[in-house]
Amino acid sequence: MLIYLSIIILGLLQIHISIASLTFQLKPNNEGHLLRRDNNIDLEFLSQSRSAPIIDLYFGSQGEKIPVMLDTGSYTSFVQSKQVSEKRGYDYTNSSSYENNNKDFSVQYADSTSYKGNWSKDAVSFDKNGDKINLNFGLVTYATTNGVSSDTNVFGLGYNYGEPTLFDQLKEKGLISRKTFSIYSSANDHSLGEIYFGAIDSAKYTGDLVSVPIKPFGNGRLWWSYLTDLEAGCESTTNGNTYFMNFDCGYTTGLTVPEDVHKKLLNNLGAFYEEQSKNYVFDCENASPIQAEVAGHKIEIPSAGFTKKIRNTDQCVLKHIIPGPDKDTITMGWIFFPYIYGVFDAHNDEILFGKPITDTKESNIQELGDSIPNVQKASKYSSVSNAVITNQIAYTSIPTSSVQLDIESTGVTSASTCSTGNRKRDLSLEDKIKKGIFVPDSSASSVFKSFSMILLFSSILVTCI
């Protein structure tokens, strides 16, 4: 699938043209270790698993086309040299405008991959024949990848770090008036995704924008705020605790949550673990939308976003929500970005959320200056300032079994909502097998029998409050 990215540049570049519309191809990216993690520039990008907002930039005096991933989860901007990545590396030796800043560059990731080289400067443009600006970035000349592909180039969208980020440089060079960017990622039509630097598109969301505070992060800033509740299956999974929440478009999953929150979420859905396919299975009827509350503002993740249907059954498997190693951190990754219209405002150290309009082609671009129009603060904006994990989360162990699953490629849209009152869980797994809906494989039959008395949930009522 070819996905395209367009850039619109206003402001100082109006000296040359009023609005320049440039088109780039967005490419899938499988480097998971990196995916963890002009007064406006508008970029279209894809919203799907194992992909990220990757654009083509043109480096050096020769305008060499290099794919670069934009990443809200990092400060660092770096490009592989040709000697490190033959496929996607930059041959800086051909550029007469290249400068070595004579300062070491180094970055290391949690999987122990590391990249070293020199801080460098070169002319960069947003299309082959576009105006060039001088950007600073790390040029990687040595990589320790531990068998992981080293083909990814990254421009981080953090800010106020020790070294200049892409975001900082756009503001410093006068290409944007306000150090702000906004993201619209369409849930269904991937060609409609956009990112605007220095602007918002008010036709992409409804209602007012709601602001939440940014958590301080060392000497710089990344896009972290505070999760004050996470509701799944019509019940809270957090028991009143508050967590740090990271919005990371360079991270390939939907939500990563602490292990106890994950187990409570599975309990709320009435899930069991299927060992062959390594999936959590539950009745689709239980898949009411997930509500992620950020500083009091609720973000709704529809059931289609975190489920896949099991063919010829009323059962679903859980997708894109996984447990992580941290007890106080929740990360929303790229797959769930379609469920927010996000405005990332470094000027006020805030993230602002709008309710996105799905798959719209309408546009009303508003350049930002001293203020952002029509903004209200989230209800808990001033009352949260740290992660507070004081309440124990009660959960039961997750039943396991081994059955044959034929999983469809699409999710389900549940008709159930938490406002409909009591919902009744569907038949237990044992009853489903008796009815021929599930058929355990022969190797698992004895294992299954030993679990059949404890497996799933006889018909019970779940009160949704």
What is the tens place of the pLDDT at every residue in 76-85? 899 999 999 9
430 contacts 456 by C-beta, under 8 angstroms: yes
Most confident of 112-116, 188-192, 280-284, 428-432: 280-284
Question: What is the Cα–Cα distance from 410 to 305, expressed in whole angstroms?
Answer: 9
**Both structure tokens of 342:** 């996000």
The pLDDT of residue 422 is: 40
- Is a pLDDT exceeding 70 seen at residue 279? yes
Instruction: Give yes or no for residue 433 having a pLDDT over 80.
Output: no
Q: What pTM does this model have?
A: 0.81
Q: Which neighbouring-strand residues pair with 358? A: none
> What is the set of domains in the chain, with CATH numbers?
3-176 (2.40.70.10), 203-337+388-462 (2.40.70.10)
Report the chain's mean pLDDT, rounded to a whole number: 79
pLDDT number for residue 328: 95
Q: Which residue has the higher pLDDT, 166 or 366?
A: 366
- Is the alpha carbon torsion for 385, 387, 392, 395 positive or negative? positive
More confident residue, 27 or 59: 59
CA distances from 298 to 211, 264, 340, 411 (A): 12, 19, 10, 22
Question: Rounded distance, CA 268 to CA 418, Å?
Answer: 12
Lowest mean pLDDT among 13-22, 24-33, 190-199: 13-22
Q: What is the pLDDT of residue 322?
A: 96
Residue 9 has pLDDT above 50, yes or no: no
Tell me what pLDDT residue 118 has: 97
Distance (Å, whole) CA 140 – CA 380:
43
The residue-averaged pLDDT of 453-460 equals 30
- Of the pLDDT bands very low, low, confident and very high (cuts 50, 70, 90), residue 188 is confident
Q: Does the pLDDT at position 187 exceed 90?
A: no
| Span 36-53, average pLDDT | 42
Of 58-72, 338-352, 400-414, which range is least confident?
Answer: 400-414
Q: Where is average pLDDT lowest: 100-114, 127-141, 160-174, 239-253?
A: 160-174
- Token readout for 134 is 């001088």
Nearest-10 Cα torsion for 30, 33, 35, 40: -110
Task: Give the pLDDT mean for 402-411.
Answer: 81
Backbone angles phi, psi at 94, to 5 degrees: -90, 0
pLDDT for residue 195: 83
Residue 335 DSSP SS3 = helix
pLDDT of 10 over the 90 cut = no
Strands 194-197 and 41-43: antiparallel
Rounded Cα–Cα distance for residues 78 and 241 (Å)? 37
Percent of the chain with pLDDT over 90: 51
CA-nearest of 465, 462, 434, 407 to 267 is 462
Cα angle 121, 126, 129 (rounded to 5 degrees) comes to: 100
Type and span of the H or E element at 99: strand 99-108
At 124, the pLDDT band (50, 70, 90 cuts) reads: very high
**Highest mean predicted confidence (pLDDT) among 194-198, 205-209, 310-314, 367-371:** 205-209
pLDDT mean over 400-425: 69
What is the predicted pLDDT for the residue at 458? 31
* Bridge partner list, 141: none
193-247 tens-digit pLDDT: 788 889 999 999 999 999 999 998 766 788 999 999 999 999 999 999 999 999 9
Q: CA 248 to CA 334: how far, in whole Å?
A: 7
- What 3-state DSSP class applies to 324? strand
User: Do residues 408 and 449 touch, judged by C-beta distance below 8 A?
Assistant: no
Are 286 and 416 in contact by the 8 Å Cβ rule? The answer is yes
- Smallest Cα–Cα separation from 318: which of 282, 275, 355, 289? 282
Residues 6+ apart with CB under 8 A from 85: 150, 151
